[in-house]
Amino acid sequence: MENPIPIDFSDLNPETLQQMSSFEDVIVILASREGEICELINKADFPQMDRYLQSDDFQKLSENDFIKIDFPADYKAKKLVIQKVPRKASEKNQRKAGAKLGSLAISNNILVLYDRSKPEYYAEGIALKAYKFEKFKSKKADEKDNSNNCTILCKKSDQARRKFEPLNNSVSGTFFTRNLVNEPANTLTTESFAEQLIALDELGVNVQVLEEKELKQLGMNTLLAVGEGSASPSKVVIMEWKGSDDNPVAVVGKGVCFDTGGISLKPAKGMEQMTMDMAGAGVVSGVMKSVALKKAKANVVGIVGLVENMPGSAAQRPGDIVKSMKGDTVEVLNTDAEGRLVLADILWYVQEKYNPSWMINLATLTGAIVVSLGHEYAGLFSNDDKFCKRFLKSADFEGEKAWRQPLDVNYDKQLDSRLADMKNIGGPYAGAITAAQFLQRFVKKDTPWIHLDIAGVAFPAKEGDFAPKGPSGWGVRTILNLIGKSF
C-alpha cells in the first residue's frame, strides 16, 4: 500500500451488527481486560464468545494485543480478532491500538466493532501501519491490495468520518515521505525528486525550482560544493502554501539523494542505505503535501536542498575552503560532513527572503546521534525554550519521540579553523552537538529555531509502533500538529 487504505465508518446499532454474522473476511471485536465486549452483542447468538474471552490466550494478552481465531464458530468470517483495549484510553493509546491491526489491513477486508470513544484515532493507527512499498516488484505480493478496505462500526459515524479526514491527510503526507525515502538513487535523482515536488502545484502549492546558475548567483556555494562530483545537478526547491496572511513558518530539509561520502569515501558495508540521506527533505515534502490536502489556514514555506555527494573528478576535496551565502567561509575537512553544508545556505536563504516566525530543519545529519539515542528518539536542538516545549508536546501527542540535546558556546571551539571562519567538523567527540553548533551559526538570533537530527528515526532497524520496517516518515505528523496549533 503506497497510499492509505480506504477506511469508512458506519453507525453501531443492532441493524448494522447483523453485518457481523455474515461478514466473510476479518472481524475485529474490542474487549476490556475483564473480558467485557460491546453490550449490543447478544452472547446467546455467539455461544463460543465466552470461551474465547476466558481462554488463557486472551487472559495473557498485553494491552492492545489480540488473539486470532481462524474460521471461528458462529461466524462466516475467515478470522475473528479479539483485541484487548481499555474502555477509557487516550488518543495516543487508541492510535497505538489501531496500529496493531495495520498489518492485517494490508491484505484483508476488515470490519471493526468499535464501542469506544474517538474512533478516528484508532482508524489513523490502522492507516499508518498498513503500509507496503512494492513499486519495484514485478510480482506484487497481493494483487488485491487496492480493493481492501476497513469499515469501523462506531457511534456517531458521520462525526468520526469528518474528524478522520484531516488525520488521513496527515497519513497521506507521511506515506509520500515514506515513498520518497524508499526510492533508490537511480530513480530518485535530484531531477526526478524536483519533478515530484513540482506536481504538488496541482494541490495549490506554489513550487519554484532554483537551478545551479541561480544558486551560484545567490552565493549558495557550500550547497553547490557538495554536488560538484555528481552528474546530477544540484537544486533548491521552494514550496509555498499561503493559507493565511500571517507571517510564514519555515520547514527546511536536507535532500542528499545519495551520499557516498565524496572523496572522504564511506565504507562499502551499509552504503546502500544512503539512499535515505534525503529523508529530511522527504519529511518537508510530506508536510507540504498534507498542508495542501488539509487546506490549512496557515502560511507555510518548505525548502529543500537536493544534491548528490559523489567522488567524481570535480568533487570538492578535503581542505577546500568555500564561502557560504551568508558570507562566512568554511574549511571542508571531511566531505562526508556534507549535510550541514547543504543546510547552511538554505537556512540563511529562507530567513533572508521570508523572515519566518519560526523555523525547523530536519536532516539525517550524524551517526553520532544514533550512538547517543539509538533508533528510539530524534535529537532535538533549539535556541528557544518556549518553542522547544511546544514541539515536544506536539511530538508526544503524535507518538514521535524526540529528546533535547544541549547547545553550548564552549562546543564552538571545536569548529575553529586556522584558515577559515570555521571548519565543517568538530573532531571525534560530541559530533551531533558540534554539527548543531555549526548550523546555529546560520540562524539569526531572533529566529526561533529547531534542528532535528533524524538519522536514527528516519529509517529504523526494526518496525515501529506506526510503521513497518523501513522508512518511518517521522516528523510529518508532529510538524503538522504544531502548524495547526500555531494559528
Q: What is the mean pLDDT of residues 332-354?
A: 98
Alpha-carbon gap, residue 86 to 401, rounded angstroms = 23
454 in a domain, yes or no?
yes
- For residue range 105-146, list pLDDT tens digits in order: 998 999 999 999 999 999 999 999 999 999 999 876 555 445
The pLDDT of residue 2 is 86
> Does 237 score more than 80 pLDDT?
yes
Q: Reduce the DSSP state of residue 105 to 3 states and report it.
A: helix
C-beta separation of 58 from 52 below 8 A = yes
The pLDDT of residue 234 is 98
The pLDDT of residue 243 is 96
Closest CA to 125 of 108, 145, 100: 100
Closest CA to 153 of 2, 35, 15: 15
When pLDDT is cut at 50, 70 and 90, the band that residue 487 belongs to is: very low
164 in a domain, yes or no?
no
One-letter amino acid of 298: A
> Does 42 score more than 80 pLDDT?
no
For the domain that residue 386 is a member of, what is the CATH number?
Answer: 3.40.630.10
In this structure, the answer to whether residues 203 and 352 fall within a common structural domain is yes
Domain boundary among 155, 185, 202: 155
Domain boundary among 102, 125, 155: 155
**Residue 27: Cβ within 10 Å count:** 23
162 in a domain, yes or no?
no
In this structure, the answer to whether residues 113 and 229 fall within a common structural domain is no
Within 137-253, residue ranges assigned H as helices are: 157-182, 190-198, 212-218, 221-226
Residues annotated as catalytic (active site), given as ranges: 266, 340
In this structure, the answer to whether residues 323 and 454 fall within a common structural domain is yes
In this structure, the answer to whether residues 240 and 303 fall within a common structural domain is yes
2 in a domain, yes or no?
no
The pLDDT of residue 145 is 47
When pLDDT is cut at 50, 70 and 90, the band that residue 41 belongs to is: confident
In this structure, the answer to whether residues 144 and 221 fall within a common structural domain is no
The grid coordinates listed for 420 are 577559515
Residue that wins the pLDDT comparison between 237 and 75: 237
Q: What is the mean pLDDT of residues 42-66?
A: 88
Q: What is the mean pLDDT of residues 30-34?
A: 92
Closest CA to 126 of 5, 294, 25: 5
Place of cell 530543519: 361
C-beta separation of 377 from 456 below 8 A = yes
1 in a domain, yes or no?
no
237 in a domain, yes or no?
yes
Q: What is the mean pLDDT of residues 48-75?
A: 91
Q: What is the mean pLDDT of residues 367-381?
A: 97
In this structure, the answer to whether residues 52 and 89 fall within a common structural domain is yes
When pLDDT is cut at 50, 70 and 90, the band that residue 323 belongs to is: very high
The pLDDT of residue 143 is 52
**No. of H helices and E strands in the chain?**
16, 17
Place of cell 489480540: 66
One-letter amino acid of 409: V
163 in a domain, yes or no?
no
Alpha carbon 136 to chain centroid distance? 21
Alpha-carbon gap, residue 265 to 274, rounded angstroms = 12
150 in a domain, yes or no?
yes
> Does 40 score more than 90 pLDDT?
no
Alpha-carbon gap, residue 455 to 436, rounded angstroms = 13
Q: DSSP strand E in 312-409: where?
A: 320-323, 329-332, 359-363, 378-382, 402-404
Q: In what order do the strands lie in the sheet with 79-84?
A: 7-11, 150-154, 110-113, 26-31, 79-84, 66-70
**Residue 54: Cβ within 10 Å count:** 10
Length of the chain in terms of residues written: 487
In this structure, the answer to whether residues 253 and 285 fall within a common structural domain is yes
Alpha-carbon gap, residue 194 to 186, rounded angstroms = 14
- For residue range 155-167, list pLDDT tens digits in order: 999 999 999 999 9
The grid coordinates listed for 130 are 498498513
In this structure, the answer to whether residues 149 and 215 fall within a common structural domain is no
Vertex 146 angle, CA 140 and 149, to 5°: 130
The pLDDT of residue 139 is 73
Closest CA to 97 of 69, 77, 117, 79: 117
Tally of domains in the chain: 2
> Does 186 score more than 70 pLDDT?
yes
Closest CA to 113 of 170, 75, 56, 169: 75
Domain boundary among 155, 184, 214: 155
The grid coordinates listed for 93 are 493509546
Q: What is the mean pLDDT of residues 195-213?
A: 98
Q: What is the mean pLDDT of residues 220-235?
A: 98
Alpha carbon 23 to chain centroid distance? 35
Please state, in angstroms and as integers, the Cα–Cα distance from residue 303 to each residue in 205, 206, 358, following that order: 12, 12, 14
In this structure, the answer to whether residues 446 and 411 fall within a common structural domain is yes
Please state, in angstroms and as integers, the Cα–Cα distance from residue 121 to each residue in 1, 18, 100, 114, 151, following that order: 19, 25, 13, 12, 14
Note down the domain range covering 321: 171-486
Average pLDDT, the chain: 95
In this structure, the answer to whether residues 27 and 113 fall within a common structural domain is yes
For the domain that residue 19 is a member of, what is the CATH number?
Answer: 3.40.220.10
The pLDDT of residue 144 is 46
In this structure, the answer to whether residues 180 and 324 fall within a common structural domain is yes
Q: Give percent of the chain with pLDDT exceeding 70.
A: 98
In this structure, the answer to whether residues 291 and 393 fall within a common structural domain is yes
Closest CA to 163 of 117, 112, 118: 118
Q: In what order do the strands lie in the sheet with 299-309?
A: 206-210, 235-242, 299-309, 249-259, 359-363, 449-453, 378-382, 402-404
Q: What is the mean pLDDT of residues 357-381?
A: 98
